[in-house]
Amino acid sequence: MFTQLYHTILYQPIFNLLVWFYNIIPLHDIGIAIILITIVIKIVLYPFSVKSIKAQKALQELQPKMEEIRQKFKDNPQEMTKATMALYKQEKISPFSSCLPLIIQLPFFVAVYSVFRKGLTNNQNLDILYSFVQNPGQINTWFIGLIDLAKANIILAVLAGLAQYWVSKMLITKKQPAVATAKDEDMAAKMNKQMLYFMPLMTIFIGFSLPAGLTLYWFVSTLLTGIQQLYLFKKKVTLEIIDKK
């Protein structure tokens, strides 16, 4: 039952939208169709993306205060937990607020993965097209005549990794002035730096084994997330300047 529900609500609509874009695009370029469907999915998930970005940034900015609490109550875990919860309440932040939006977006990613892995290479999937979506007979998997999106592509994998680095770099808060917890902050900074490089490298590694259609989706989606972050962070700075004035 769950599989059928997933197929009806996510897989089939995404596949039909992809084929519809493919039909209306001049020269029937599946790569452009993928870019368009990425934009549509990003618009649908925009409210969740905004919440996730704001939550991740807020948690990053809270790290210096968190380190102070850890240092102050390092010998009393119970008090450390109470102080941490009090800080979250004071700042109106939930420690799970950045995870929930990502969990909501996960089924969409799985559906897109299935569409690009099966739908681009298996013409039998064209049988699930809606009556108003024209059957193209066969989908040409080449993007601008240069990249076969049904196979893995190193260039797109590297581009996706670079986009991931850019997005992660924006979320990292500048190092705070040295305080009594400098040693702990240095440790946290090192861990953040490791994650900054680890995630892009993982993106590239995984991208090597995925169909290029999915890697293109990943790259464009991450790029759009970066643009969202730029807009939100710029807006926040503007509002803070107005408040000070």
Report how far apart the first and last C-alpha atoms of the chain are (Å, whole number): 58
pLDDT band, residue 73 (cuts 50/70/90): confident
Residues in Cβ contact with 121 at an 8 Å cutoff, skipping those fewer than 6 apart: 141, 150
Is 55 within 8 Å of 97 (Cβ atoms)? yes
pLDDT confidence tier of residue 66, bands split at 50, 70 and 90: confident
pLDDT score of 241: 59
What pLDDT does 182 receive?
43
Q: What is the pLDDT of residue 102?
A: 65
Half-sphere exposure of 100 (CA within 13 A, CB side): 10
The answer on pLDDT for 99 being more than 70 is no
- Selected residue with higher pLDDT from 172 and 139: 139
- Flag the least confident range among 22-26, 120-124, 174-178: 174-178
Give the mean model confidence (pLDDT) for residues 118-130.
72
Which one, of 121, 218, 104, lies nearest residue 161 by Cα? 218
Residue 181 has pLDDT above 50, yes or no: no
Is residue 176 predicted with pLDDT exceeding 50?
no
Q: In the predicted model, is pLDDT for residue 236 greater than 70?
A: no
The pLDDT of residue 242 is 58
pLDDT of residue 153: 92
Residues 159-186 have a mean pLDDT of 66
121 confidence band (pLDDT: 50, 70, 90): low
Higher pLDDT, residue 177 or 165? 165
Sign, CA dihedral 16-18-19-25, equals: positive
The domains of the chain are located at 2-244
Average pLDDT of 46-58? 75
Q: Report the mean per-residue pLDDT for the chain.
A: 78
pLDDT(59) > 80: no
Output the pLDDT for position 150. Answer: 85
pLDDT at 175: 45
Question: SS in 3 state form for the chain?
Answer: CHHHHHHHHHHHHHHHHHHHHHHHCHHHCHHHHHHHHHHHHHHHCHHHHHHHHHHHHHHHHCHHHHHHHHHHCCCCHHHHHHHHHHHHHHHCCCCCCCHHHHHHHHHHHHHHHHHHHHHCCCHHHHHHCCCCCCCCCCCCCEECCCEECCCCCHHHHHHHHHHHHHHHHHHCCCCCCCCCCHHHHHHHHHHHHHHHHHHHHHHHHHHCCCCHHHHHHHHHHHHHHHHHHHHHHHHHHHHHHHHHC
Query: In this predicted model, what pLDDT tens digit does every residue of 138-156 receive, in sequence order?
Result: 888 888 888 888 888 999 9
Residue 233 has pLDDT above 60, yes or no: yes
Phi, psi of 117 (to 5 degrees): -80, -35
